[in-house]
Protein backbone atom coordinates (compact mmCIF):
# COMPACT_ATOMS: atom_id res chain seq x y z
CA UNK A 1 0.00 0.00 0.00
CA UNK A 2 2.96 2.32 0.29
CA UNK A 3 2.84 2.96 -3.42
CA UNK A 4 -0.36 4.92 -2.99
CA UNK A 5 1.47 7.92 -1.64
CA UNK A 6 2.99 8.61 -5.03
CA UNK A 7 0.04 7.97 -7.28
CA UNK A 8 -2.33 10.29 -9.04
CA UNK A 9 -5.83 8.91 -9.07
CA UNK A 10 -8.95 10.58 -10.29
CA UNK A 11 -12.55 9.84 -9.64
CA UNK A 12 -15.50 10.66 -11.85
CA UNK A 13 -17.73 13.47 -10.70
CA UNK A 14 -19.70 14.25 -13.83
CA UNK A 15 -21.08 11.80 -16.34
CA UNK A 16 -22.98 13.10 -19.35
CA UNK A 17 -24.53 10.71 -21.85
CA UNK A 18 -24.01 10.48 -25.58
CA UNK A 19 -21.62 13.35 -26.03
CA UNK A 20 -18.60 13.55 -28.27
CA UNK A 21 -16.30 15.11 -25.72
CA UNK A 22 -13.27 12.89 -26.16
CA UNK A 23 -12.07 13.09 -29.74
CA UNK A 24 -9.73 10.64 -31.35
CA UNK A 25 -6.05 11.09 -31.90
CA UNK A 26 -6.29 13.07 -35.14
CA UNK A 27 -8.85 15.49 -33.80
CA UNK A 28 -6.88 16.10 -30.65
CA UNK A 29 -3.71 16.87 -32.51
CA UNK A 30 -5.41 19.21 -34.94
CA UNK A 31 -7.18 21.04 -32.16
CA UNK A 32 -3.99 21.66 -30.30
CA UNK A 33 -1.91 22.63 -33.28
CA UNK A 34 1.02 20.53 -32.21
CA UNK A 35 3.09 20.69 -29.07
CA UNK A 36 4.59 23.62 -27.29
CA UNK A 37 2.95 23.03 -23.96
CA UNK A 38 6.17 21.82 -22.41
CA UNK A 39 8.14 25.00 -22.65
CA UNK A 40 8.51 24.73 -26.39
CA UNK A 41 10.86 21.79 -26.03
CA UNK A 42 9.05 19.72 -28.61
CA UNK A 43 8.06 20.80 -32.09
CA UNK A 44 6.44 17.54 -33.09
CA UNK A 45 4.45 14.80 -31.44
CA UNK A 46 6.90 11.99 -30.78
CA UNK A 47 6.18 8.58 -32.20
CA UNK A 48 5.07 5.94 -29.74
CA UNK A 49 8.02 3.83 -28.73
CA UNK A 50 8.28 0.41 -30.36
CA UNK A 51 9.64 -1.46 -27.37
CA UNK A 52 10.24 -4.61 -29.41
CA UNK A 53 13.03 -2.76 -31.19
CA UNK A 54 14.83 -1.56 -28.08
CA UNK A 55 18.45 -2.70 -28.05
CA UNK A 56 18.96 -5.00 -25.06
CA UNK A 57 22.70 -5.32 -25.34
CA UNK A 58 24.82 -4.94 -22.21
CA UNK A 59 28.37 -4.21 -23.28
CA UNK A 60 30.14 -5.01 -20.03
CA UNK A 61 29.11 -6.32 -16.63
CA UNK A 62 31.20 -6.60 -13.49
CA UNK A 63 31.59 -10.12 -12.07
CA UNK A 64 28.22 -10.94 -10.50
CA UNK A 65 27.79 -13.05 -7.38
CA UNK A 66 24.08 -13.79 -7.31
CA UNK A 67 22.96 -17.05 -8.81
CA UNK A 68 20.14 -15.19 -10.53
CA UNK A 69 20.94 -11.51 -11.07
CA UNK A 70 17.92 -9.41 -11.95
CA UNK A 71 17.70 -7.04 -14.90
CA UNK A 72 15.64 -3.99 -15.79
CA UNK A 73 16.08 -1.31 -18.42
CA UNK A 74 15.26 2.39 -18.10
CA UNK A 75 14.88 4.57 -21.19
CA UNK A 76 15.56 8.30 -21.07
CA UNK A 77 15.08 11.14 -23.52
CA UNK A 78 12.08 12.10 -25.59
CA UNK A 79 12.76 9.27 -28.02
CA UNK A 80 14.01 6.84 -25.38
CA UNK A 81 17.43 6.57 -26.97
CA UNK A 82 19.46 6.60 -23.74
CA UNK A 83 19.43 3.09 -22.25
CA UNK A 84 20.24 2.74 -18.57
CA UNK A 85 20.47 -0.82 -17.29
CA UNK A 86 19.78 -1.65 -13.67
CA UNK A 87 21.18 -4.99 -12.50
CA UNK A 88 20.55 -6.31 -9.03
CA UNK A 89 23.19 -8.54 -7.49
CA UNK A 90 24.12 -9.89 -4.06
CA UNK A 91 27.21 -9.10 -2.01
CA UNK A 92 27.45 -12.80 -1.24
CA UNK A 93 25.93 -15.67 -3.13
CA UNK A 94 24.11 -17.03 -0.08
CA UNK A 95 22.30 -13.78 0.77
CA UNK A 96 18.54 -13.91 0.62
CA UNK A 97 17.84 -10.38 -0.61
CA UNK A 98 19.56 -8.44 -3.36
CA UNK A 99 21.77 -5.83 -1.73
CA UNK A 100 23.93 -4.61 -4.64
CA UNK A 101 22.76 -2.54 -7.59
CA UNK A 102 24.70 -1.77 -10.73
CA UNK A 103 23.23 1.21 -12.57
CA UNK A 104 24.60 2.28 -15.92
CA UNK A 105 24.16 5.93 -15.11
CA UNK A 106 26.09 7.19 -18.15
CA UNK A 107 24.23 4.82 -20.51
CA UNK A 108 27.38 3.52 -22.15
CA UNK A 109 26.44 -0.13 -21.72
CA UNK A 110 29.32 -0.71 -19.29
CA UNK A 111 28.16 -1.27 -15.73
CA UNK A 112 31.61 -1.75 -14.28
CA UNK A 113 32.31 1.93 -13.55
CA UNK A 114 33.19 2.56 -9.93
CA UNK A 115 30.42 5.15 -9.53
CA UNK A 116 27.85 2.69 -10.84
CA UNK A 117 27.78 0.27 -7.91
CA UNK A 118 25.39 0.91 -5.01
CA UNK A 119 24.76 -0.96 -1.79
CA UNK A 120 21.25 -1.29 -0.48
CA UNK A 121 21.70 -3.05 2.82
CA UNK A 122 19.24 -5.56 4.21
CA UNK A 123 16.26 -3.44 3.17
CA UNK A 124 17.33 -3.40 -0.47
CA UNK A 125 16.96 0.39 -0.71
CA UNK A 126 19.38 2.03 -3.12
CA UNK A 127 19.60 5.77 -2.61
CA UNK A 128 21.16 6.95 -5.85
CA UNK A 129 20.51 10.64 -5.24
CA UNK A 130 21.29 12.99 -8.11
CA UNK A 131 21.01 11.43 -11.52
CA UNK A 132 22.19 13.35 -14.57
CA UNK A 133 20.17 12.30 -17.56
CA UNK A 134 22.63 10.72 -20.00
CA UNK A 135 23.65 13.00 -22.83
CA UNK A 136 22.14 16.08 -21.21
CA UNK A 137 22.84 18.54 -18.43
CA UNK A 138 19.49 17.81 -16.80
CA UNK A 139 19.86 16.56 -13.26
CA UNK A 140 17.08 14.64 -11.58
CA UNK A 141 17.08 14.40 -7.81
CA UNK A 142 16.57 11.80 -5.13
CA UNK A 143 16.51 8.74 -7.34
CA UNK A 144 15.68 5.76 -5.16
CA UNK A 145 15.44 2.18 -6.33
CA UNK A 146 14.15 -0.54 -4.06
CA UNK A 147 13.50 -4.23 -4.24
CA UNK A 148 12.38 -6.05 -1.16
CA UNK A 149 10.36 -9.24 -0.75
CA UNK A 150 9.92 -9.50 -4.48
CA UNK A 151 8.55 -5.99 -4.98
CA UNK A 152 10.45 -3.58 -7.20
CA UNK A 153 9.95 0.16 -6.95
CA UNK A 154 11.58 3.42 -8.04
CA UNK A 155 11.01 7.08 -7.36
CA UNK A 156 12.67 10.20 -8.74
CA UNK A 157 12.25 13.98 -8.56
CA UNK A 158 12.18 14.84 -12.22
CA UNK A 159 14.10 18.00 -13.15
CA UNK A 160 12.52 19.87 -10.25
CA UNK A 161 9.13 19.65 -11.92
CA UNK A 162 7.51 16.40 -10.82
CA UNK A 163 7.79 13.37 -8.63
CA UNK A 164 7.67 10.19 -10.67
CA UNK A 165 7.26 6.66 -9.40
CA UNK A 166 6.84 3.19 -10.73
CA UNK A 167 6.43 0.59 -11.86
CA UNK A 168 2.66 0.52 -11.61
CA UNK A 169 0.09 -1.87 -12.96
CA UNK A 170 -3.68 -1.71 -12.99
CA UNK A 171 -3.82 -3.61 -9.70
CA UNK A 172 -1.59 -3.82 -6.65
CA UNK A 173 -0.34 -7.24 -7.71
CA UNK A 174 0.63 -6.27 -11.25
CA UNK A 175 3.66 -4.03 -10.82
CA UNK A 176 6.44 -5.56 -12.91
CA UNK A 177 9.41 -7.15 -11.22
CA UNK A 178 12.90 -7.31 -12.64
CA UNK A 179 13.76 -10.34 -14.78
CA UNK A 180 16.44 -12.99 -14.82
CA UNK A 181 17.94 -12.03 -18.18
CA UNK A 182 18.41 -8.92 -20.34
CA UNK A 183 16.20 -10.47 -22.99
CA UNK A 184 13.30 -10.75 -20.54
CA UNK A 185 13.96 -7.51 -18.68
CA UNK A 186 11.07 -5.08 -18.27
CA UNK A 187 11.54 -1.67 -19.86
CA UNK A 188 10.59 1.44 -17.90
CA UNK A 189 10.31 4.87 -19.49
CA UNK A 190 10.15 7.72 -16.96
CA UNK A 191 9.65 11.30 -18.05
CA UNK A 192 7.26 14.17 -18.54
CA UNK A 193 8.47 15.52 -21.87
CA UNK A 194 6.40 13.23 -24.06
CA UNK A 195 2.62 13.25 -24.40
CA UNK A 196 1.15 11.53 -21.39
CA UNK A 197 -0.64 8.21 -21.37
CA UNK A 198 -2.95 6.61 -18.83
CA UNK A 199 -3.30 3.36 -16.94
CA UNK A 200 -6.11 1.83 -14.93
CA UNK A 201 -6.04 1.76 -11.21
CA UNK A 202 -8.37 -0.87 -9.79
CA UNK A 203 -11.21 0.23 -12.04
CA UNK A 204 -11.57 -2.12 -14.98
CA UNK A 205 -15.05 -3.37 -14.13
CA UNK A 206 -18.15 -1.17 -14.29
CA UNK A 207 -21.60 -2.16 -13.08
CA UNK A 208 -24.74 -1.24 -14.96
CA UNK A 209 -27.20 1.00 -13.24
CA UNK A 210 -24.77 1.82 -10.44
CA UNK A 211 -22.27 4.48 -9.50
CA UNK A 212 -18.74 3.38 -10.36
CA UNK A 213 -15.37 4.86 -9.54
CA UNK A 214 -12.96 5.13 -12.41
CA UNK A 215 -9.36 5.89 -11.57
CA UNK A 216 -6.24 6.32 -13.65
CA UNK A 217 -2.55 6.93 -13.37
CA UNK A 218 -1.10 9.58 -15.66
CA UNK A 219 2.42 9.08 -16.97
CA UNK A 220 4.28 6.92 -19.46
CA UNK A 221 4.01 3.29 -20.39
CA UNK A 222 6.84 0.84 -20.43
CA UNK A 223 7.09 -2.25 -22.57
CA UNK A 224 4.47 -4.36 -20.80
CA UNK A 225 1.66 -4.42 -18.29
CA UNK A 226 2.91 -3.29 -14.91
CA UNK A 227 5.68 -0.98 -16.15
CA UNK A 228 3.83 2.31 -15.97
CA UNK A 229 5.66 5.34 -14.53
CA UNK A 230 3.31 7.94 -13.10
CA UNK A 231 3.44 11.54 -11.94
CA UNK A 232 2.09 12.31 -8.51
CA UNK A 233 -1.20 13.91 -7.60
CA UNK A 234 0.29 17.43 -7.40
CA UNK A 235 1.54 17.50 -10.96
CA UNK A 236 -1.40 18.71 -13.01
CA UNK A 237 -2.40 22.33 -12.45
CA UNK A 238 -5.16 22.79 -9.92
CA UNK A 239 -8.56 22.41 -11.49
CA UNK A 240 -7.36 20.50 -14.51
CA UNK A 241 -9.43 17.39 -15.09
CA UNK A 242 -8.75 14.28 -17.10
CA UNK A 243 -11.43 13.52 -19.69
CA UNK A 244 -12.86 10.07 -20.21
CA UNK A 245 -15.36 8.66 -22.64
CA UNK A 246 -17.00 5.28 -22.17
CA UNK A 247 -17.52 3.68 -25.57
CA UNK A 248 -19.97 0.81 -25.30
CA UNK A 249 -23.12 -0.59 -26.86
CA UNK A 250 -26.62 -0.66 -25.50
CA UNK A 251 -28.71 -3.82 -25.39
CA UNK A 252 -30.12 -2.96 -28.82
CA UNK A 253 -26.61 -2.96 -30.28
CA UNK A 254 -26.35 0.80 -30.80
CA UNK A 255 -23.01 2.39 -29.98
CA UNK A 256 -23.10 4.76 -27.03
CA UNK A 257 -20.48 7.31 -25.99
CA UNK A 258 -20.66 8.76 -22.51
CA UNK A 259 -18.25 11.43 -21.39
CA UNK A 260 -17.05 12.47 -17.98
CA UNK A 261 -14.37 14.38 -16.12
CA UNK A 262 -12.11 12.86 -13.52
CA UNK A 263 -12.22 15.56 -10.92
CA UNK A 264 -10.77 14.14 -7.74
CA UNK A 265 -7.19 13.32 -6.85
CA UNK A 266 -5.89 11.04 -4.20
Partner 1 sequence: MRVPKDAKKGPAIMRVRLPDSSAYESYVTDLPVTIE
Phi, psi of 84 (to 5 degrees): -120, 110
Distance from chain centroid for Cα 186? 11
* DSSP secondary structure letter of residue 111: T
Q: Which is nearer to partner 1, 126 or 217 (CB)?
A: 217
Q: What 3-state DSSP class applies to 25?
A: helix
* DSSP secondary structure letter of residue 67: S
Q: What 3-state DSSP class applies to 220?
A: strand
CB 18 within 8 A of CB 244: no
**In angstroms, what is the minimal distance from the CB of 204 to partner 1?**
5
CB 131 within 8 A of CB 116: no
Q: Which is nearer to partner 1, 31 or 92 (CB)?
A: 31
Q: Which is nearer to partner 1, 15 or 51 (CB)?
A: 15
* DSSP secondary structure letter of residue 227: -
Q: Report how far apart, in Å, the C-alpha atoms of 155 and of each of 42, 103, 249 are.
A: 25, 15, 40
Q: Which is nearer to partner 1, 104 or 223 (CB)?
A: 223
**In angstroms, what is the minimal distance from the CB of 79 to partner 1?**
15
**In angstroms, what is the minimal distance from the CB of 108 to partner 1?**
31
Contact residues toward partner 1 (CB under 8 A) are 12, 15, 17, 22-25, 28, 31-32, 35, 37-38, 42, 45, 48, 192, 194-200, 203-214, 216, 218, 236-237, 240-253, 256, 258, 260
Q: Which is nearer to partner 1, 115 or 211 (CB)?
A: 211
Q: Which is nearer to partner 1, 23 or 121 (CB)?
A: 23
Q: Which is nearer to partner 1, 148 or 236 (CB)?
A: 236
Q: Report how far apart, in Å, the C-alpha atoms of 11 and of each of 92, 127, 154 are.
A: 47, 33, 25
Question: 255-262 and 12-17: which strand pairing?
Answer: antiparallel
Q: What 3-state DSSP class applies to 4?
A: helix
Bridge partners of 262, per DSSP, are 12, 242
Measuring CA to CA, which residue among 185, 191, 264, 181 is closest to residue 224? Answer: 185
Amino acid sequence: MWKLAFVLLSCVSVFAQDEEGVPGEEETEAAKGGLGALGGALSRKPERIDFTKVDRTIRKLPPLKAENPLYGLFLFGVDGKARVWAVLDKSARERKEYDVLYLDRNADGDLSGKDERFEGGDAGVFAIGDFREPGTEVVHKALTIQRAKGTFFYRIQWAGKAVLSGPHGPTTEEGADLACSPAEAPVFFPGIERPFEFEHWMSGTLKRGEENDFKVFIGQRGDRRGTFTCVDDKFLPEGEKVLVQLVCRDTAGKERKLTAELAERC
